[in-house]
Amino acid sequence: MTAIPLGVPRRLVEFTIDGEKARVPEGATILDACRAAGKDVPTLCHGDTLTPKNACRLCVVEVEGARTLVPACSRKAEPGMEVHTDTERARHSRRIVLELLASSVDLSTTPEAAGWIKEYEAKPDRFGPEAARLNEEPRVDNALYVRDYDKCVLCYKCVDACGDQWQNTFAISVAGRGFDARIAVEHDAALTDSACVYCGNCVEVCPTGALSFKSEFDMRAAGTWDESAQTETTTVCAYCGVGCNLTLHVQDNEIVKVTSPHDNPVTHGNLCIKGRFGYQHVQNRG
């Protein structure tokens, strides 16, 4: 008979962050330790349900003895490591990353971007108004979600969520190379002509709002989107018997967005088309 797997016992790793002692279980990352210690390290491409991609380089920290800055999101903590999160070198690097991103990408719906730009004194404008931007219109080709390439930082989180890490639909991928690289469905077609199953799990992980629910997109366009006036209530989906937890974002008694808690044992933050979008019937109030 097989016993319940308890997992390999994990030792605690001791090291220091900014001179203070830190203890985390073996296998935890520097970012885990920083967050446990209450240190603010900015991240864009890190997703709590995804394998780190090391794409944005915003979370870099300095490790004594290391030649280069290391990404906190993926570097595992090691015994005796001396980590510095706020050195001039780390701050300089973050400033450059923010300047490059903010000059080429629309970060207006990236939750904490404005604060970081201020904190790190980034000056995205210094590249002038001619800085390369895509300048594309948002793609609205279906009733459920919108793709706004002007806001895409190519972090690949959506590709991972759609691909082998969760959804296994493989509707989107990185197409092109270098400056031409972009996230696309096959032949860069409309979503409605792709393999997309409209689970919205890519939207769930998008850090910048490049992917957004049409409900949110329309309300933002109309100037009525107001997160401070929204409540978030977690309940259970009304469709099949799997029992996915839904967090209903409600504004003025209308459900405007549906997410799922990332630490939920049933969903791990993922939903299907019915759970994500099948709420309209309750508010067809005549």
Partner 1 sequence: MSKRNRTPKTYTRLTHPLVRDSRDEPFRQASWEEALDRTARGLERNRGAFGMFSCARATNEMNYVAQKFARVVMGTNNVDSCNRTCHAPSVAGLSAAFGSGGGTSSYEEIEHTDVIVMWGSNARFAHPIFFQHVLRGIRNGARMYAVDPRRTSTAEWAESWMGLNVGTDIPMAHAIGREIIHAGLVNEAFVERATTGFEEYRALVEPWTLSLAEKVTGVPARAIRELAHAYARAERAQLCWTLGITEHHNGTDNVRALINLSLLTGHVGRYGSGLQPLRGQNNVQGGGDMGAIPNRLPGFQDILDPESRLRFESAWDTVIQPHYGMNLTEMFEAMEEGSLRAVYCIGENPAQSEADSDQAVRRMRQLDFLVVQDIFLTKTAELADVVLPATAGWAETEGTTTNSERRVQRVRRAVAPPGEAREDIDILCDLAARLGRDWKYADSEAVWNELRSVSPDHYGMTYARLEEHQGIQWPCPSTDRLEPTYLHGRLWEKDPDARGLPAPFGIVQHDPPVDLTDERYPIRLTTGRRLDSYNTGVQSGGFASPLRRGEYIELCPEDAERYGVVVGEEVQVSSRRGAVVAPVWIDTALRPGLAFMTMHFPDEVDTNRLTIEANCPIAGTAEFKASAIRIDKLPVATIVR
Interface residues toward partner 1, by CB under 8 A: 1-5, 142-144, 164, 166-168, 191-192, 196-199, 231, 233-245, 248, 250, 253-255, 261, 263-268, 270-275, 277-286
CA 146 – CA 128 distance, rounded (Å):
29
Place of tokens 């990404």: 71
Q: Which two tokens stand for residue 103?
A: 């000059």
H helix or E strand, kind and range, residue 161: helix 157-162
Tell me whether residue 68 or residue 168 sits nearer to partner 1 (CB atom): 168
Place of tokens 């390439």: 149
Tell me whether residue 100 or residue 144 sits nearer to partner 1 (CB atom): 144
Q: What angle do CA 83, 85, 90 make, to 5 degrees?
A: 110
- Cβ partners under 8 Å of residue 122, min gap 6: 95, 96, 98, 99, 102, 116
Instruction: Provide the minimum distance between the beta carbon of 193 and partner 1 in the complex, in angstroms, as a whole number.
Output: 10
Instruction: Provide the minimum distance between the beta carbon of 147 and partner 1 in the complex, in angstroms, as a whole number.
Output: 13
Q: Do residues 133 and 108 make contact, with C-beta atoms less than 8 angstroms apart?
A: no
Tell me whether residue 85 or residue 194 sits nearer to partner 1 (CB atom): 194
Instruction: Provide the minimum distance between the beta carbon of 24 and partner 1 in the complex, in angstroms, as a whole number.
Output: 23
Tell me whether residue 71 or residue 275 sits nearer to partner 1 (CB atom): 275
Instruction: Provide the minimum distance between the beta carbon of 218 and partner 1 in the complex, in angstroms, as a whole number.
Output: 13
Tell me whether residue 19 or residue 286 sits nearer to partner 1 (CB atom): 286
Tell me whether residue 109 or residue 267 sits nearer to partner 1 (CB atom): 267
Q: Which two tokens stand for residue 180?
A: 């031409």
Instruction: Provide the minimum distance between the beta carbon of 17 and partner 1 in the complex, in angstroms, as a whole number.
Output: 30
Tell me whether residue 52 or residue 261 sits nearer to partner 1 (CB atom): 261
Positive or negative torsion for Cα 267, 268, 269, 272: negative
Please provide residue 22's backbone torsions phi and psi, each rounded to the nearest 5 degrees: -130, 145
Percent helix, strand, coil in the chain, to 5, is 30, 20, 50
Instruction: Provide the minimum distance between the beta carbon of 285 and partner 1 in the complex, in angstroms, as a whole number.
Output: 4
Instruction: Provide the minimum distance between the beta carbon of 205 and partner 1 in the complex, in angstroms, as a whole number.
Output: 14
With 0-12 / 13-18 / 19 or more C-beta atoms within 10 angstroms meaning exposed / middle / buried, residue 284 is: exposed
Burial 75-84 (b: 16+ CB within 10 A, else e): bebeeebebb
Instruction: Provide the minimum distance between the beta carbon of 83 and partner 1 in the complex, in angstroms, as a whole number.
Output: 32
- DSSP assignment of 171-184 equals -EEEES-GGG-EEE
Tell me whether residue 27 or residue 79 sits nearer to partner 1 (CB atom): 27
Q: Which two tokens stand for residue 128?
A: 């002038």
